[in-house]
Amino acid sequence: MNDSVFHRLYDVYHQDVFQFLIYLVKNRTLAEDLAHEVYVRVLRSYDHFAGNSSEKTWLFAIAKNVAIDHFRKQAVRKKHSLDFFDWETEQLHSTTPSPEDMLQASDEFLQVESALENCSGDQKMVIIMRFFQDLSIAETAQILNWTEAKVKTTQHRAIKFLRQQLQPVSEQEAKRQ
């Protein structure tokens, strides 16, 4: 891999990849470590990049896999066994506050972020990719290795679930006014 290609990829996409990882792990230091691992994997595998997708999609796929690997390792350590981390039933949780919490982000964002913690792992990934990272349905499907229909269905279910979670909050706000 040419140094200038690596630096271009890093300069253009690092902030997006880093933000994506922060949304997933909610820990700046850990997100930095995982972002570093993403670029280590980019260096190792760039020669195999066939160009079947955009570089951005390829980088997000690597970031997703790095995050999944992290959560699998974390789950194994917690369970002290070699159980498979099931993304369909397990939820992604982190006890440390996100950088947005520390910077006193808007109440709405905090409410959505809180409700997002109750979504399934797949729903959370789709919402982060689609709405926090502004990826298209096609890019999200490509990163997750899903069909576009599955992305749309998962997104629809996640939005419906988030609305249900946020409805009591909006009703409380209406009562206060």
Are 53 and 13 in contact by the 8 Å Cβ rule? The answer is no
What digits encode the pLDDT tens for the residues 121-159? 899 999 989 988 889 999 999 999 999 999 999 999 999
Contact assessment for residue 21 and residue 35, using Cβ atoms and an 8 Å cutoff: yes
Per residue in 24-46, pLDDT (tens digit) is 888 899 999 999 999 999 998 88
Q: Provide the terminal-to-terminal Cα distance of the chain, rounded to the nearest Å.
A: 59
Chain centroid offset of residue 84 CA: 20
In the predicted model, is pLDDT for residue 5 greater than 80?
A: yes
Among 61-70, 126-135, 144-153, 160-169, where is mean pLDDT lowest?
160-169
Contact 14, 22 (CB under 8 A): no
Contacts of 158 (CB under 8 A, 6+ apart): 119, 120, 123, 124, 126, 127
User: Is the distance from CB of 33 to CB of 18 less than 8 angstroms?
Assistant: no
Q: Report residue 91's pLDDT band, with 50, 70 and 90 as the boundaries.
A: low
Percent of residues, the chain, with pLDDT higher than 90:
39
Do 19 and 133 contact (CB within 8 A), yes or no? yes
What amino acid is encoded at 22 in this protein?
Answer: I
Confidence band, pLDDT 50/70/90 cuts, at residue 76: low
Residues 35, 32: Cα–Cα separation, whole Å: 5
pLDDT of residue 82: 45
Q: Is 0.75 surpassed by the pTM of this model? A: no
Q: Mutual orientation of helices 137-144 and 55-79 as an angle, nearest 10°?
A: 50
Compute the residue count for the chain: 177
Q: What is the pLDDT of residue 81?
A: 45
